[in-house]
Amino acid sequence: MVIDIRHLKEINNPLIESYLSHGIRNNELVENRQQIVLPYADVQSLEWYFDGIRIGYSDWTYSSPVKLKWSFEINADLITLFINLKGEVRFINESDNGFYLGSSQHNLFYASPGQKDEGLLVQEDARNTMFMVQFPKDMFVQLIQDSSLPLMRFREQIWNGNSAALSFENRWLDLRMRNVINSILHCKYEGGIKKIFFLSKVLELLVLQADLFEPEETPKNNFIKTAYDRERIQFAMEYLHGHLTNPPGLQELSRIAGLNEYKLKRGFKEVFGNTVFGYIAEARLQLAMEDLRETNKTISQVSADLGYSSVNHFSTAFKKKFGMAPSRVTGRFPF
């Protein structure tokens, strides 16, 4: 069943309508949080506006299988960094045949003002989860001056007023970008410091995304040849993220992902540039850094929560990764 949500007042709030119509250039940070209950889904929506930038996050949890159709009139001149965390997003544009993002894929888009932006959300495991950052075109052009070759090509297209994507091929969300998103969604700062933090993080996201699109200029390995195998490798990564404190062994992970061990090991290294165990270690340490910065947990609590055998083992791994002891981050003793 397809449900048209284009005219639901709960979804089309005045802030987003104003932003898409003419942009919002407020100096202060404006925050909009919504919990929306619909007959077929519960929706968590978070938005932040500052200096012409919009950060948006929405998480749809469905009670029945539906597809959602949306449509917006966009008259502001905006660049959209779109990250699809869960489910499928299908864009339908007037000027071309549209665009598709699968789960954990991202890209950068520009639609010239006056075009209708519409599309379809297709749930996966009863979820659709999306994250985006939108920049005014003039600000974005200034930000990416003399940057990477893919961004320079993108800049040329948008400078001439042409609707464009950074690449016809989406990229997979990596650990670095996922951690930045988490730090934005769980930010504990307030006021002006929060605005500075958000600005630093959206710029970091833009840099990381540009870095992930850089390899398209060089030959790729071709061990993973099918979309199914790539999707299974991506599923394995997402499963690991949900089980960092007690991750499965290779044999169990290969069974869960539906791939043999050899293909899992080779494919994981090809897609994510790291081994399965290397990825787990990296993800745990990044999560530890977030916990130490943004919670009141002690070092020993963080170490235990992430499954380290001892505080000393955790501290050694942390210092090797970040070049500092955990106590430097917290300013506290381990216990």
Identity (one letter) of the amino acid at 88?
E
Tell me, what amino acid is at 229? Answer: D
pLDDT of residue 333: 42
Q: Which fold has domain 227-330?
A: Arc Repressor Mutant, subunit A (1.10.10)
Q: What residues does 99 pair with on adjacent strands?
A: 91
Q: Do 117 and 93 meet the contact criterion of CB atoms below 8 Å apart?
A: yes
Overall size of the chain counted in residues: 335
Please, is 301 exposed, middle or buried when counting C-beta atoms within 10 Å of its C-beta (0-12, 13-18, 19+)? Answer: middle
Place of tokens 């690449």: 167
Element (H, E) at 139: helix 137-143
Burial of 36-49, coded b for 16+ CB within 10 Å and e otherwise, reads: eebeebebebbbbb
Rounded CA gap, 248 and 261, in Å? 13
Query: Which DSSP string corresponds to 165-216?
Result: ES-SS-EE--HHHHHHHHHHHT----HHHHHHHHHHHHHHHHHHHHHHHGGG
Question: What is the SS3 assignment for 225-268?
Answer: CCHHHHHHHHHHHHHHHCCCCCCCCHHHHHHHHCCCHHHHHHHH
CATH 1.10.10.60 domain position(s) in the chain: 227-330
Rg of the chain over CA atoms, in angstroms?
21
Domain 2-217 has CATH 1.10.260.40: no
- Token pair 């992902």: residue: 257
Q: Please state, in angstroms and rounded to a whole number, the distance separating the CA atoms of residues 234 and 227.
A: 10
Residue 125, pLDDT score? 79
pLDDT the model gives residue 221: 55
pLDDT under 70 in the chain at which residues? 1, 6-7, 9-12, 93-98, 215-222, 330-335
Token digits of residue 168 = 């016809």
Question: What are the distances in angstroms from CA 293 to CA 21, 31, 186, 203, 318?
Answer: 38, 22, 11, 20, 13
- Per the CB < 8 A criterion, the answer to whether 165 and 214 are in contact is no
Residue 16 · residue 27 · CB < 8 Å: no
Match 């979820």 to its residue by tokens: 127
> CATH 2.60.120.10 residue ranges in the chain?
2-217
